[in-house]
Each structure stands twice: as structure tokens, then as C-alpha cells.
A = this chain, B = another copy of it.
């Protein structure tokens, strides 16, 4: 038996990534529960808080999600009264997403979320070295994602 042909679960970067991502989402859940939004909905709101009035397509570019995921997600945010969805007037193919007053107000509630999570992850936001380590990890993950998406098709 080929004991070492790189098929050991614990050797897989992919599994470490998979497990860490799910642990992260689970860690966010109790912090987002008071806001009444899910983790992907929270990501969409992060984009909207930076750029209110974006198109569904632009949101999709930013989050690497397609309309198959975003359309129902945005409908749920609309049902909760956090955003509005309206067809473009000049270009009737597009749909523009705007924050409602409630959606804008939710940003204040959300400010404590990243701090609470950093705390839970054992990062001291005041520690310069910890912040640098976090930024380095983030950079490595971004570089990895870019390399994975790039080649061929």
C-alpha cells in the first residue's frame, strides 16, 4: 500500500481551509443573531455599507457570487426591510440595491461584530504584531484564491 501519496486528510491544505472557514462562520453566527442576518447576508451588507446603490452584478463581482445565490439572498434582505431592489431606468437589465434607513442603521449595531470576533479568535486588536500576523494570513489567503481562480477555465 502506498502509505504516503498525499491523500492523508491532515496533509490537505484544502481541508484545513474548509474546516477553518466553517469554524469562522459558526463563530459569527451568535454575533450576527442579534442583527437578524446570516453570515453571507452580513457580507453583502458590508459591501452595501461601503457602496450603497450597487448593482447585483457589482455585488456579485465583489463577493464572487452569482445571481443564483444573490437573488434569493437579496430578496430575504428586502423582506427584512434592510434593502430595496429596483430595476435600472436607463438600463432595464440591471437591478440596483439600496439600503433602507433600517439597513443603514444596522451598521452601528454591526460595528462591534469584528471586534468581538477578533477577541474570540484570540487576537488582541491593540497588539501591533497580532494585527500584522492577521494581515499576513489574509494576504496569503487572497493570493491563494487568486492563483486558484486564474489558470485556464
Residues on A facing B (Cβ under 8 Å): 2, 5-9, 11-28, 43, 46-47, 49-50, 62-64, 107, 110-111, 114-115, 117, 120-122, 134, 137-138, 140-142, 144-145, 147-149, 151
Q: Which residue of B lies closest to A133 (CB)?
A: B140
Report chain B residues within 8 Å CB of A115: 6
| From B5, B111, B142, contact of A6 by CB (8 A) | B111
Evaluate whether A16 and B145 lie within 8 angstroms (CB atoms) in the complex, with A9-B62, A114-B6, A115-B6 already known.
Answer: yes
The main secondary structure of chain A at its interface with chain B is: helix
With A43-B15, A49-B7 given, is the CB distance from A20 to B121 under 8 Å?
no
Contact present for A148 and B7 (CB under 8 Å): no
How far, in angstroms, from A6 to B153 measured CA to CA in the complex?
A: 35
The number of times this chain is found in the oligomer is 2
**B111 contacts A13, C-beta separation under 8 Å:** no
Check B23–A144 contact: CB distance below 8 A: yes
**Measured between C-beta atoms, what is the minimum distance from A9 to chain B in Å?**
4
- A59–chain B nearest beta-carbon distance, Å: 11
6 more A-B contacts (CB under 8 A) besides A24-B145, A120-B148? A13-B134, A13-B137, A17-B21, A21-B21, A22-B64, A26-B149
